[in-house]
Structure 1
Amino acid sequence: MKVLLIEDNKELAASVHDYLAREGYICEVSYTVNDAQEKLHLFQYDCILLDIMLPDGNGLALLEFVRSENIQSGILIISAKNALDDRINGLESGADDYLTKPFHLSELHARLRAIFRRKKLDGTNIVTFNEFILNTDTLEASVNGTVLDITRKEFDLLLYFLVNKNRVLSRQSIAAHLWGDYTDDLSNFDFVYQHVKNLRKKISAAEGTDYIDTVYGLGYKFNSAKE
């Protein structure tokens, strides 16, 4: 999962960032509305953690921006205990959930996972397609009943393909989704090719169909129509 945390309390932001990183997520941080808007223009995120009170504006205005731009990220509002009106307004404006400060990081994690399941996985932790079964709780992927010996990045890559079936995914978008927006400055994305190659090899070893097509000059597509 790729998360954008919008929070001006740098100590809290560091705690959330480090916790989510240990859980294997890509977590990027914005401390202001302006920086968050720039990131949201350039990159895609599965979920947004949104503080209401920010130094250069109100988080609710940023929420309206997200919805007006048709950004399909899940949104979890982080608010102070006494900000009931802001939480209500946020939910009515399209936020998926809210969490009051202070909170336990484990609860934050659980809320994020629940939003991701609802938004991306139809409310389940099991993703299936033909001979593929992925469990997002255990991070296990199986093909034809054989559990694949894959890395966390390869699991996330396969899940990214399945969630975006039949869409052309550029090498840059794959890199940014799995490794973060710092990859925007890289001169090439050969490491994406290597991960795709390794994933294909492991799927073939389990006698699975290689649905991953190379779209030359652009990237890759998980072709669900392939027999």
Structure 2
Amino acid sequence: MKILIVEDEPELLKVMSVFLEREQYVVERATDYASGLSKIANYTYDCILLDVMLPGGSGISLLRALRDMGKLDSVIVVSAKDAVEDKVQGLELGADDYLAKPFHLSELLARIKTVIRRNNQHREQALEFKNVKLFPEDRKLLVNELEVCLNRKEYDLFYYFMIRPGKLVPKTALAEAVWGDSADQADSLDFIYSQIKNLRKKLKDSHAEIDFQAVYGIGYKLM
């Protein structure tokens, strides 16, 4: 899952980034209004952590721009402890939650998990497709009720397909979702083929009734 942190305090940005990366999230960063606007306009995130006070503009304006684009990314507004007006305005504009500074990282993680779970269109405890079940909360894959071990990138890639069964997923979208926004600048996307190959083998070895169908020059479908 991919998170964008829009925060201009270097030390807080670093602490949040390191913590969330350790929790298996792909983390992107923006430190001012302009870079934040560019990120939200060009990419999609599972959750955006949005500081209110930013160089060049406000986080509230970024939230308004995001919703005006028709994008439904989950948003947690982060602001000073007693900034009631920021909280009210953010929630009225469609923020999913509000977190006052200072906060504990454990609380931040709990808030992120809650808004992602709440806003995910697949609200079931498990995602099921044929004889395969994926449990997002536990990052666990079962085939015929037996667990199949996946590494971090394999899980993130497979999750992206499991919430879009039968749909064509372009390689560029996969790269951005799993490897971060800079992946669209890579000279080659051959690394995706390698991950798909590994997943195919694990699915086949576990007798899964699903497989990846390649669409030449575009991407893959989970069928």
Q: TM-score, normalised by structure 2?
A: 0.95
Shift of 1:125: 4.2
Counterpart check, 1:87 vs 2:87: yes
Partners in 2 of 1:41 and 1:162 — Cα distance? 25
How many matched pairs?
Answer: 223
- 1:76-97 CA-to-partner distances (Å, cap 9, x unmatched) read 1111112111111111110101
Match of 2:138 in 1: 138
Match of 1:70 in 2: 70
Q: Is the 8 A contact 2:156 2:178 kept in 1?
A: yes
Shift of 1:136: 2.0
- 1:46-94 CA-to-partner distances (Å, cap 9, x unmatched) read 1100011111111111111111111221001111112111111111110
Q: Is the 8 A contact 1:134 1:141 kept in 2?
A: yes
Partners in 2 of 1:73 and 1:178 — Cα distance? 16
Does the residue aligned with 1:133 lie in a helix, a strand or coil?
A: strand
Match of 1:165 in 2: 165
- 1:146-187 CA-to-partner distances (Å, cap 9, x unmatched) read 211221211111111011233322112111111112212211
Match of 2:182 in 1: 182
Partners in 2 of 1:115 and 1:178 — Cα distance? 20
Q: Is the 8 A contact 1:171 1:189 kept in 2?
A: yes
Match of 1:108 in 2: 108
Q: Is the 8 A contact 1:121 1:127 kept in 2?
A: no
Match of 2:40 in 1: 40
Does the residue aligned with 1:98 lie in a helix, a strand or coil?
A: strand
Shift of 1:18: 0.6
Partners in 2 of 1:123 and 1:103 — Cα distance? 27
Unmatched segments (≥5 aa) in structure 1: none
Does the residue aligned with 1:220 lie in a helix, a strand or coil?
A: strand
- The amino acid across from 1:178 in the alignment is V
- 1:163-216 CA-to-partner distances (Å, cap 9, x unmatched) read 123332211211111111221221111110111111111111111123422111
Shift of 1:121: 5.2
Moved >6 Å (runs of 4+)? none
Q: Is the 8 A contact 1:118 1:124 kept in 2?
A: no
Shift of 1:124: 4.7
- The amino acid across from 1:101 in the alignment is K
Partners in 1 of 2:124 and 2:208 — Cα distance? 23
Q: Is the 8 A contact 1:214 1:220 kept in 2?
A: yes
Match of 1:19 in 2: 19
Q: Is the 8 A contact 2:126 2:135 kept in 1?
A: yes
Partners in 2 of 1:142 and 1:59 — Cα distance? 40
- The amino acid across from 1:166 in the alignment is G
Partners in 2 of 1:24 and 1:188 — Cα distance? 24
Q: TM-score, normalised by structure 1?
A: 0.93
Partners in 1 of 2:95 and 2:174 — Cα distance? 26
Partners in 1 of 2:41 and 2:167 — Cα distance? 20
Q: Is the 8 A contact 1:33 1:56 kept in 2?
A: yes
Mapping 1:42-61, distance limit 5 Å: 42-61=42-61
Q: Is the 8 A contact 1:2 1:25 kept in 2?
A: yes
